[in-house]
Structure 1
Amino acid sequence: MEVSISNFQGKWTGRIYGTNTGNVFMELSQTENQVQGIAHLCDDKFGIALYDISGSITDGTMIINGTPKQASEGGILGETTIIAELKQDGSLASRWETTIGSAGTVRLYPHNYEEKFSKTAEPEQIYNKIVPIGSVRLFKKDVNALFNIIEKDFSEGRLIVTYMQRSNEVTRFATDFVSNLDDIEELRSLKIFIQEPEAPGINKMVTVDFFERDSSSVRVSGINESWVVGKAESINKEIANYQNKVVTNYRRCGLRKPN
């Protein structure tokens, strides 16, 4: 797709940064200096969100407003404003902010998915499944087994683990995390995350959050409803093997050092 100052029409992909991070896919149509379309956001923490967008172009700057259309269960969205400028490499450098106080930057690149995905592959709906988790105690062998269950069905995505260590948030690939487990004395929280492209601008994703005091959960998103439901159930079934149904060791003691 050839991009010029007067032509913002087409498909755009990129990432947002700031108070929220994640992948974004935006599809625009244009009539003279007016644009409209839809934006798909895959937030790294809150999952999938859809926005109806519209705006105008003046002197190479595009100002668009986004109205929330669909959010993951429990997600809170605000009206969004994006101010984008076309750069020499054909990308859009933008600032975004919402009516609920979140803000940041976004970089978008023109993209043509027809080579990888046919038009019939574009999803009509995004499915999300959230399963609450009870009290859990994990040991090293349990962590490895859980990682294997989560990684199944992902051929491109890499499993990422985030945890607190000495009051600092640390993010590592799962392989590095497992290699350094003996150096971790105690875990008070643990986030396991993986995603990969499933359709134009849409990633299927799995997030497992373990918290000491807050609600822990399994979250699965994707365009295939049976996969989303089945994946969430298989992960929950694996975690059930480590749940303490009598004493809430997890809430009282946290995640103990794996053996």
Structure 2
Amino acid sequence: MLDGADAALTGVLRINEQGAGIAVYNVVGSFEAPTLKLTGTPAGEVEGVELGQFAATGTMNAKGEIQGDWESTIGTAGTFVLFPHAGGEQPDEVQRTEQFHTARHNFGAIEVDREQVIEIAENIRREFPAVIVTVVAGTEQSLYLDDFKELHFAVDRAEIIKVFAQRPDGAGANQVVSIEFGPQINTAMTQGANEAWVLGQLETLKRDLKRYERTYVTNFKRWGIGINQIMLLAAIVFLPSLSDLSDRAILMGIVLSLIVGVNWLHSRYVPFADIQLREKKTGWLGKAWPRVASWGIGIVAAVLETLAAAYLLGALEIPAPPVQPPSVETTPSNLGQ
């Protein structure tokens, strides 16, 4: 910091150089707008370091900064920049934290292929400068949309796929759109400082992605339940009809086993997110197979539960195998009798 009148400025300059310590200079100079002239003399000695006098000349710009050159009597030289000191100033208005709004929607089972993923990303890129597609298929790869279009995958299916886009909104915040399809959840998310934009963008995504949604027996979209909940509820309703505690335990064990079996078969043959990285089968069987398999699994499970309950109640009897008459052995001794 420099003090005094413009024609007779004085100050102290401290320079901290690595390996040399702090060198202190007494500085004098003058300022005739827009030029500042300074000279400095070492205020003391630094052991093992040669110090010399320096002279500096700089010019002030419109921001109040002074830029210029300096040189010393020992042959060193360089440039410098001086900034206005405003550390003690406080803003007149209280700074308010930006409010972010986030909206999400969870979909049911999803079935998409590579071309449909590209179509989803292209629709988002109409409003965003760049779109990133992340694919998890053994390893995870994050690619810009143009690179994703050119990539040929070695596997047929992906475990997870994400589509992400972000842009500044002009008010210092970011607007974000994120879509994720995977084995546990299929969701779309929007985020931004403008609540109306967040809600409107989410409704647009819901409308665009609804055509890829599939209704499986494990999830009735309208009521938010599936075959597993229905089987468990039916077992609870039926339990009071059984007088024996062991029969009740057997029924609940059968129902829980069926639920585990239904979930395992769906995860194996009817995934919650069927993501094809190559061209998807377009035949009617290829299109109908996931839903046919899902409903077939559910119907078989419900029938097995009904048969188990009827048997434990005594309304269903399993016929015993027919009794075979005892065989008579023929030996030479009894032939003569």
> TM-score, normalized by length of structure 1?
0.46
Higher relative strand content: 1
| Greater C-alpha Rg | 2
Higher relative helix content: 2
> TM-score, normalized by length of structure 2?
0.36
